Structure 1
Amino acid sequence: MNCCVRVLWSFLLLLPVITEAIEPISVGIAITLASALTGFLSHRNFYCNFLDCCSTEEALNSTALREKLHENVFGQHLATQVVMKAVPGFIHNSNPKKPLTLSFHGWTGTGKNFISRIIAESIYKDGMKSKYVHHFEPTLHFPNRDCVNKYKDQLQAWIRGNVSSCSRSIFVFDEMDKMPPGVIDSIKPFLDYYEQIDGVSYRKAIFIFLSNSGGDRINEVALNFWKSGKNREQIQLKDLENSLSLGVFNNKESGFWHTSLIEKNLIDFFVPFLPLEYKHVQMCIEKEIKARGFKVEKSSVDSILDEVQFFPPYENIFAKKGCKALDKKVDYYCYEN
């Protein structure tokens, strides 16, 4: 029972004490109003507008998710397409067969963390700060490669406890390429097609993996499209998804090395994040400037772009760090001028 409801019922308990000086009809009206208000405030949809609640099928605003992706994510047509279809489709399914598992791949600064944050914010009011969203950093949570068995037990216990509390829990595993081999295999039962495991259903949970692994292959495909004069928007998921899954499966440094998650086809989408071009970095800079309430001036944008490194040599098509760390450069130039 939330605090508002407790206050109202405390008031009702005090009614016998204060009713002597009040007309009977007034007491009746007061009780009726208090009961009605109690029921209103007890309604989940009311207090979940103000508090962070475990998500339901109705919680996701698909239109808002689509708009946020279009307005804030640049140059990632494959990632936005997958997220706009897979996440709403999964959330609005009241009886999914298994959890939703997304594996994001690409070089740093291409938007993997950013889109993960948008997903969390579209489902939970507090976004990544929600108690129902759990973020793992291998260098922080799994730093010692000699403690794999210990980490497996801890990870299983953590996921089991949180899904027991909220079936719509979200788990984000960052920097998978730094994950000790074997640790991620411990969550295989939770990602499989089981109705329940020890009385707990994991079917409504979301698992998101972020990795730099496969970035070189993605960049190679993007560069080949550019060299052949094709638009990058012509790149399709099928052009990269199979090679990505095979690449990370056979890469000892991927965190997915010979993992049963891939072997048993438990990852629903391998999502490539393409390297960002000059125009995409420019859009990131302009967005950062506007977010600070400054006027976008070409001189400031050009000054920041001059400091961005591009590759390959001589052609300089893609930004080496994507849009990462641009916020600091924007701070420097905007406040300097």
Structure 2
Amino acid sequence: MFIFDKFDVMPSGLIDTIIPYLDDHDNLNGINYRKAVFIFISNTAATEIQHQTISFLHEGKERDSIQLKDMEVLVTKAAANLKAILVNIIRIKIVCFKSGNYKLLIVNFLHSDSFYHIDVLLRYMITAYIPFLPLERKHVRQCIKDYLLLKKYYTSYGDIPEEKVREIAEQLHYFPEEEQLFSTTGCKRVPSKTCYIMEED
């Protein structure tokens, strides 16, 4: 398994070095890469996914009940828009799993509106798009508890005061502005905010 985070900001030269491994070769330098799993994480279509998640919430549909099929139209629309821009791309080749010969390219759509290296994905086999939904406060609180245990501030989940977790969680920013439902940065800033609060004590 190969994971490429922030694929949209990777230098094109670096992308070029992995292209041979995406091609359908029996082997490359004596190694068969046809059964490898490639995961490309990007930031495309985030705004749409965030808006749709909030819309579902207003309709009474909880985040945990949102399914992939609920977001597929957004993913399809994003792919269609990108295809229109990339006029040199003749077609998108969608390939399903095949025994003994497959590649899985997963695109995580998060917080931006561009995917600079989409042509790489469009030229090769795309098996699935996985949209990551924004994190709610309860997810952030769990991240905080996990980090407190990791850094040995406490020895078990039961020892962690909920008031301390709330204090750390309030150091983060949330959206939309009126409702403050989702973390703007997920759990990325939990370590720094946790250390800041714990060092004050």
Aligned partner of residue 130 in structure 2, secondary structure:
strand
Partner of residue 49 from structure 2, selected from 218, 222, 233: 218
Aligned partner of residue 129 in structure 2, secondary structure:
strand
**1:285 aligned partner, one-letter code:** I
1:254 aligns with 2:115: yes
Greater radius of gyration (CA) = 1
**1:239 aligned partner, one-letter code:** D
Counterpart of 2:142? 283
Q: CA, structure 1 residues 309+333, in 2 after alignment: closer, same or farther (shift >3 Å)?
A: same
Counterpart of 1:229? 60
What displacement does 1:296 show?
1.0
What displacement does 1:299 show?
2.5
Q: CA, structure 1 residues 245+171, in 2 after alignment: closer, same or farther (shift >3 Å)?
A: farther
Judge conservation of contact 1:185–1:261 (CA < 8 Å) in 2: no
Where does 1:84-233 land on structure 2 (aligned, <5 Å)?
Answer: 170-180=1-11, 184=15, 187-196=18-27, 200-233=31-64
Judge conservation of contact 1:172–1:209 (CA < 8 Å) in 2: yes
What displacement does 1:182 show?
8.6
Q: CA, structure 1 residues 241+263, in 2 after alignment: closer, same or farther (shift >3 Å)?
A: farther
**1:217 aligned partner, one-letter code:** E
What displacement does 1:283 show?
1.2
CA distance, structure 2, for counterparts of residue 239 and residue 186 of structure 1: 35
Judge conservation of contact 1:311–1:320 (CA < 8 Å) in 2: yes
CA distance, structure 2, for counterparts of residue 284 and residue 198 of structure 1: 42
Q: CA, structure 1 residues 244+185, in 2 after alignment: closer, same or farther (shift >3 Å)?
A: farther
Counterpart of 1:326? 190
Q: CA, structure 1 residues 292+180, in 2 after alignment: closer, same or farther (shift >3 Å)?
A: closer
Where does 1:282-321 land on structure 2 (aligned, <5 Å)?
Answer: 282-293=141-152, 294=154, 295-321=159-185
Structure with higher helix content:
1
Counterpart of 1:144? none
What displacement does 1:309 show?
0.9
Structure 2 unaligned residues grouped into runs of 5+: 87-113
**1:328 aligned partner, one-letter code:** S
Judge conservation of contact 2:176–2:182 (CA < 8 Å) in 1: yes
Residue deviations 1:5-35 (CA, integer Å, cap 9, x gap): xxxxxxxxxxxxxxxxxxxxxxxxxxxxxxx
What displacement does 1:211 show?
1.3
CA distance, structure 2, for counterparts of residue 198 and residue 324 of structure 1: 38
Judge conservation of contact 2:172–2:189 (CA < 8 Å) in 1: no
- Computed over aligned residues only, the root mean square deviation of the Cα atoms, in angstroms, reads 2.8
Sequence identity (%):
36
Judge conservation of contact 2:3–2:39 (CA < 8 Å) in 1: yes
Partner of residue 69 from structure 2, selected from 233, 238, 254: 238
Q: CA, structure 1 residues 199+328, in 2 after alignment: closer, same or farther (shift >3 Å)?
A: closer
Aligned partner of residue 272 in structure 1, secondary structure:
coil
Judge conservation of contact 2:168–2:197 (CA < 8 Å) in 1: yes
Structure 1 unaligned residues grouped into runs of 5+: 1-169
CA distance, structure 2, for counterparts of residue 243 and residue 235 of structure 1: 13
**1:278 aligned partner, one-letter code:** R
Aligned partner of residue 279 in structure 1, secondary structure:
helix
Q: CA, structure 1 residues 298+204, in 2 after alignment: closer, same or farther (shift >3 Å)?
A: same
TM-score by length of 2: 0.69
Aligned partner of residue 240 in structure 1, secondary structure:
helix
| Structure 1 segments of 4+ aligned residues over 4 angstroms from their partners | 180-183, 185-189, 197-200
Q: CA, structure 1 residues 184+243, in 2 after alignment: closer, same or farther (shift >3 Å)?
A: farther
Q: CA, structure 1 residues 262+196, in 2 after alignment: closer, same or farther (shift >3 Å)?
A: same
Q: CA, structure 1 residues 260+210, in 2 after alignment: closer, same or farther (shift >3 Å)?
A: closer
Q: CA, structure 1 residues 197+335, in 2 after alignment: closer, same or farther (shift >3 Å)?
A: closer
